[in-house]
Amino acid sequence: MSELYDILVETPPTKVILLALDQGLWDCERSLAELSALCEANHMEAVAEVTQKRQTPETGIVLGSGKLEEAAAAAAELGAECAVFDGELTGSQIRNISTALGGMEVIDRTMLILEIFRSRAVTNEGKLQTELALLRYRLPRLQGMGESLSRQGGGG
């Protein structure tokens, strides 16, 4: 009789690039270290960090276009599939940054934390509560989806 072995095939972590705006309000290095640890908790590996020191965010894209080009090049070189921003982004900022990064998925710190909670929920109630929180957070960020349908009139 042959023995059966359960083989656990672990998928490699998703490679991500960390993005941050350093306005001098807090310790950016420490915040990025914490963000990297959060990524690890969600089976992600931070392969690069791109930060920019500036007093005010660039309208629409937070970081300057040159920094986003640098991030896109680093992501392509290192095989990053996602960008994680150290802070909270609006829906339009997520779309604009994603476009600047060649269509790469972009999430912010809050979304990452909600994903961690969702993935670790055990009870049905916990799963529902975390899914609801995630959907409530995503809803305002879906602005613009389906705008092509917004001006259709009724038949008459």
Q: Where are the domains of the chain?
A: 14-109
* Spatial strand order in the sheet of 14-22: 44-53, 14-22, 82-85, 105-108
Whole-number Cα distances in Å, 135 to 83, 105, 106, 142: 20, 17, 16, 10
pTM of the entire predicted model: 0.82
Which residue is associated with the tokens 């290095």? 29
Q: What is the pLDDT along the chain (156 residues), one digit of tens a residue?
A: 445 555 556 789 999 999 999 998 889 999 999 999 999 999 999 999 999 999 999 999 999 999 999 999 999 999 999 999 999 999 999 999 999 999 999 999 999 999 999 999 999 999 999 999 989 998 887 765 555 444 555 555
Q: What is the three-state SS of 100-134?
A: HCCCCEEEEHHHHHHHHHHHHCCCHHHHHHHHHHH
Would you identify the CATH topology of the domain 14-109? Rossmann fold (3.40.50)
